[in-house]
């Protein structure tokens, strides 16, 4: 059987993250978000691309006591100089074509400033942000006047902040100031039991009939989802396009997955691929029947737990396992 499900629909206290998943990881995440939302300190949200960092940032702002707006900036989309002027604003004459213009820090007064892809913040911008966080005052580029800067800072990171410090991409003092609270989002490959839940959630949102969870698990087994939930959404959209006016089947769903670099364990020939597919299906079905308990699944397959783990690794299966 599939694990207990926790979703945005059955959460309480208005803490809808827009996420669907097994309670074993989503319930603790909801609790973290609720507790962090009411604190007036920066929060670093870490996770791979497509794991839902912006959803968490939106929930943190919505559940906070702040009355101002949520203002967002994707740091990676701009040069370091443009990031500085976007954040701090400019004074006329500061540089060629500069005008008197408030920055996003001023726009976020009383609210929340969300910096996506914050790994790309330059040391100079980190230093300037650190001063703003300490003094609660901001100065536009080229200006002497200081203005109020009372906002809550949220940062989305694709790498742990300590690695950024180790690689000298982040200043140590900036790291200490912004990483007191860190919320980490797990990649989809570490919670593959969520894939059927997510597929059916997406189909429901698109007004399409849902599919049996067991069949979805079998159809999409063996993929580690490097693009996470965002990639899964693209797969569902591609499958619906391929299905056209006809019903969406699990075979169409499986065919919509792009498998970069996938190499069959038993060779590239038709027989090797067929053997791999049969082994993968048998293992996933055993795991589903055993409630993802590896000892029970191994017993049903007639192999040891070590053999099961080794076989899964060789086939590229990373299903979350119990004891």
Phi/psi of residue 308, nearest 5 degrees: -60, -50
Runs of H (alpha helix) within 69-208 = 80-88, 104-107, 123-135, 161-166, 172-178, 195-205
Percent of the chain whose predicted confidence (pLDDT) is above 70: 85
Domains of the chain and any CATH numbers? 5-184 (3.40.50.300), 189-315 (no CATH)
Summarize pLDDT for 86-113 with one digit per residue, the tens: 999 887 766 667 678 889 999 999 999 9
The pLDDT assigned to 308 comes to: 81
Q: Tell me which of 147 and 6 has the higher pLDDT.
A: 147
Summarize pLDDT for 6-18 with one digit per residue, the tens: 444 333 333 457 7
302: left (phi over 0), alpha (psi -120 to 50) or beta: left
Instruction: State how beta strands 152-157 and 70-74 pair.
Output: unpaired
The pLDDT assigned to 94 comes to: 61
SS3 322: strand
The pLDDT assigned to 250 comes to: 87
> Other C-beta atoms within 10 Å of 76: how many?
13
**Cα–Cα distance for residue pair 64/37, rounded to 1 Å:** 5
């Amino acid at each position: 059987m599939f694990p207990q499900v926790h979703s945005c629909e059955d959460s309480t206290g208005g803490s809808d993250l827009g996420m669907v998943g097994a309670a074993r990881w989503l319930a603790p995440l909801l609790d973290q978000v609720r507790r962090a939302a009411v604190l007036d300190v920066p929060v670093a949200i870490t996770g791979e691309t497509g794991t839902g960092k912006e959803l968490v940032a939106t929930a943190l702002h919505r559940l906070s006591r702040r009355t101002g707006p949520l203002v967002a900036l994707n740091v990676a989309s701009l040069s370091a100089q443009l990031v500085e002027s976007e954040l701090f604003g400019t004074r006329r004459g500061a540089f060629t074509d500069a005008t008197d213009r408030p920055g996003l820090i001023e726009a976020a007064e009383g609210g929340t400033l969300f910096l996506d892809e914050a790994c790309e913040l330059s040391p100079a911008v980190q230093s300037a942000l650190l001063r703003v966080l300490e003094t609660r005052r901001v100065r536009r580029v080229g200006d002497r006047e200081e203005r109020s800067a009372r906002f809550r800072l949220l940062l989305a990171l694709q790498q742990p902040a300590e690695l950024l410090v180790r690689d000298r991409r982040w200043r140590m003092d900036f790291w200490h100031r912004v990483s007191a609270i860190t919320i980490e989002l797990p990649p989809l490959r570490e919670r593959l039991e969520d894939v059927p839940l997510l597929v059916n959630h997406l189909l429901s949102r698109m007004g399409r009939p849902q599919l049996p969870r067991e069949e979805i698990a079998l159809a999409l087994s063996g993929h580690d989802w490097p693009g996470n939930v965002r990639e899964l959404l693209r797969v569902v959209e591609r499958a619906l396009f391929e299905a056209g006016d006809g019903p969406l089947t699990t075979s169409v769903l499986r065919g919509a997955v792009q498998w970069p670099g996938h190499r069959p364990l038993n060779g590239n020939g038709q027989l090797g691929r067929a053997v791999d597919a049969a082994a993968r299906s048998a293992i996933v079905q055993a795991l589903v029947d055993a409630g993802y308990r590896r000892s029970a699944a191994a017993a049903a397959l007639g192999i040891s737990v070590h053999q099961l783990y080794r076989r899964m690794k060789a086939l590229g299966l990373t299903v979350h396992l119990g004891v």
